[in-house]
Amino acid sequence: MGMLKSGVVSGLLLALFYLTLLPFVVHGFGMIGVGLSDKAATQSYLFADGQIVANTAMTLHILAGTLLLMLVPLQLLNGLRLRYNRFHRALGTGLVALALMTGAAGMTYIPLRGTIGGPVMSAAFFLYGLCLFTAALMVARMALTGDRARHWSWGLRLFWLALGSWLYRVHYTLWYLATGGLGSEPDFSGPFDLVQNFAFYVPYLLAVQVWIVRRRSGHQGDLFTGP
Ligand code: HEM
């Protein structure tokens, strides 16, 4: 009965969470449509005539990123992970592939086309791509070598990085609702924009790090024998 109840609660929470992801997912699929149309350049600044590599990278980027965002919450459900190990492995493999694609395509696009916010945004987003790419490689490596503790740490990092692009939009939405857009400019040159270039992933990685160290010392009593 307790199991059933907690299953219902986590099901409801998951449904709520998906509702908050929905607008960005819908936007993502819309942009894939734009990327695949032959008039992409007239419909979004992300695409340009004659830039086949950058245009393809952006379309692939949005496709892989949106799928990653849609699927990654399922990987953290304890019930699924503990009872259906094969599902966890299959989905995990897919998520790693999607994260590598999202990061690689984004890091291909940035040197070719830059970003709407200029050099600081380009550098920050590139670093974000490197983080996502590294976390995906490490979570796979730790699964393959059977290092459970590190697989868990890298899995948490990958999860928060996979949500990063959505968190960026969440920060903007909440800030505009609260302040009407204080410190934010259309060309992303305001102080709020500059902070946001990093604020959608660096603080989350730090918080995850604190969480990991506390859990680890709680479990093992001694930090130095831990992973
Ligand atoms: C799950 C993760 C991600 C998702 C869902 C995602 C999704 C998207 C979407 C939908 C766009 C189009 C934005 C628009 O319509 O205005 C976009 C743009 C972009 N993304 Fe990502 N992305 C993700 C991760 C990343 C990563 C890791 C990087 C870094 C390599 C990155 C770099 C970029 C860049 C440079 C742009 C163009 C920015 C601009 O100039 O407006 N994204 N992404």
Does the Cβ of 130 fall within 6 Å of ligand 1? no
Mean pLDDT for the chain overall = 93
The pLDDT, as a whole number, for residue 226 is: 44
* Ligand 1 atom with minimal separation from the 107 CA: 30
Residue 221 is predicted with a pLDDT of: 43
Residue 71: CA count within 13 A, CB half-sphere: 19
Angstrom distance (rounded) from CA 89 to CA 120: 37
Q: Where are the domains of the chain?
A: 2-225
- The residue whose two tokens read 């449509």 is 33
Which residue's CA lies nearest to atom 10 of ligand 1?
A: 28
Whether residue 115 has its Cβ less than 6 Å from ligand 1: yes
Residues 6 or more apart whose Cβ sits within 8 Å of residue 112: 51, 53, 54, 57
CA distance 190 to 45: 20
- DSSP-assigned letters across all residues of 122-165: HHHHHHHHHHHHHHHHHHHHHHHTT-HHHHHHHHHHHHHHHTHH
Identify whether the C-beta of residue 70 lies closer than 8 Å to the C-beta of residue 62. Answer: no
Q: Quick: pLDDT tens for 24-78.
A: 999 999 999 999 999 999 999 999 999 999 999 999 999 999 999 999 999 988 7
- Of all residues in the chain, the percent with pLDDT exceeding 90 is 85
pTM summary value: 0.92
Kindly state if the Cβ of 194 falls inside 6 Å of ligand 1.
Answer: no
Confirm or reject: Cβ of 35 under 6 Å from ligand 1.
Answer: no
Question: How does pLDDT run across 81-98, given as a tens digit for each residue?
Answer: 888 889 999 999 999 999
Contact 143, 221 (CB under 8 A): no
